[in-house]
Amino acid sequence: MEIESEKLLGPLESTMCTRIVSFLTLNEVFTKVNVLNHFWHNLVSYNANIVRNCFYTICNPTHQLDLYLGQATGAKLLKDLQKLIRKTEEKYEELPYHGFKTDGGCDQNSPLYFFDHCFKLSAGKKLQAVCTRDGKNFHIEGALAVDYFDEKSLSSLLPDNFAKEQELLLNYTEHLQNGKQAPEKILLNVEREIYQIESSFLLLKEFVPIISEIHISRAGHYTCPVKTLMVFVSDERVEFKGDAMLNLFSIANSKDKLKEILMTHRDQLPPVEYTNIQTLKEMSRIYHQEKIVGDFDACIFKNRGPQVLSKLRPICWVRFNKLTRKICNLVMPKTNRFSGHFIVIKLLDCDDLRAEYDDDYPHTNIDMSFTSIRGTLLHNLKTVV
């Protein structure tokens, strides 16, 4: 798009003016130039298609995102876009994903180790651990769900001017009171050796999550802390057994095996967007060893590209290299955010610390504290002034 220089930047040739604008970030265009210049303010304020295209530039397309972009007003779209791209120095909110299914069981069938809080930051309030039964290569699926909340914290989900007497809030509250399943109750009906566990949930269909960060923690006194894992996203529920994407990455517990998979299935997988792994440097759009801080290897996949194997789209692969490294924080590139109502964590293997804790148990499992999915929550709720 050519922009006439006299309407924007003064006596410059239009081509030069366009080049200058092309160097600006989305943040600068929509939060600074938009305020300083009438022409640009009118352009972005009254042309909702420009704003919609910016969302598609930032995030992978999904059915729910399409609905949101098609139904929201231009003013709301612009406000939400500014909210999304301004948060470069602010903390993103934790997105309300609730663990509802696993094929890894629950260690000792104890509610303390149940997977429902897998995506929830503990904030030091209580002991929190997610511990599987014996084995490796397990999965945990989470849904963007009302079940993430309790009745007290539910109000934080809704905008300030939301009509709290509306039917939606009543449905949410009723589910928390009568439909939400406590881990203790679920485990009462699960045999001790069972690995497949699933609970009900109420999906937050009115909300659209935009994933900007992933915080992984294995901090704690674990005999088998998670070592290698992957995170996937989908807008539909996933069946672990027989899923081609999950099966493909079942052997990806090293950098070399990961590279082999990416090379062999190049035409079936999205490319790597960002990595700190030197051997993947030529395969990645961005490589920077110091950018992803920590004693771990990581790669972030591109939010576009082939998606022929599964409903799932891979977000990242992470492997802890040092026992002292307990936390891994991944920040998505600004134009490589992800969206989807369902999250799947693939727990590939663990560090074996049984000897250090004088644990003579004959088998390993996989332990972790949480995988907090952080970003921006968009909504199409009707509000009142």
* Model confidence pLDDT, tens digit, residues 128-144: 799 999 999 999 999 99
| 285 and 321, same domain (yes or no) | yes
Please check whether residue 213 is in contact with residue 332, taking contact to mean a CB–CB distance below 8 angstroms.
yes
| β 272-275/284-287 pair status | parallel
Q: Which amino acid is at 313?
A: R
Judge if 18 and 73 occupy the same domain: yes
Interval 245-288: pLDDT, tens: 999 999 999 999 999 999 999 999 999 999 999 999 999 888 87
Residues 259 and 333 occupy one common structural domain = yes
Beta-carbon count within 10 A of 189 CB: 9
Q: How far apart are the first and last CA of the chain?
A: 37
Give the domain extent around 328.
94-379
Report d(CA 236, CA 229) in Å as an integer. 21
pLDDT at 198 over 60: yes
Q: In which band, very low, low, confident or very high, does the pLDDT at 189 lie, cut at 50, 70 and 90?
A: confident
Inform me whether the pLDDT recorded for 293 exceeds 70: no
Coil/strand/helix, residue 355: coil
Stronger pLDDT, 89 or 372, i.e. the higher one: 372
Whether residues 80 and 98 fall in one domain: no
Residue 12 pLDDT: 44
On whether residue 230 sits in a domain, the answer given is yes
Q: Which residues are CB-contacts of 65 (< 8 A; sequence separation ≥ 6)?
A: 55, 59, 208, 339
The reported pLDDT for the residue numbered 88 is 54
Distance CA 341, CA 360 (A): 41
Q: Specify whether 136 is located in the same domain as 213.
A: yes
pLDDT given at position 10: 47
Dihedral of the alpha carbons of 243, 246, 251, 255, in degrees to the nearest 10: 150
Taking the C-alpha atoms of residue 197 and residue 107, their distance in angstroms, rounded to an integer, is: 12
For residues 225 and 343, state if they share a domain.
yes
Q: Does residue 112 sit in the same domain as residue 259?
A: yes
Last residue of a domain, one of 86, 113, 131: 86
Contacts of 292 (CB under 8 A, 6+ apart): 274, 275, 276, 298, 330
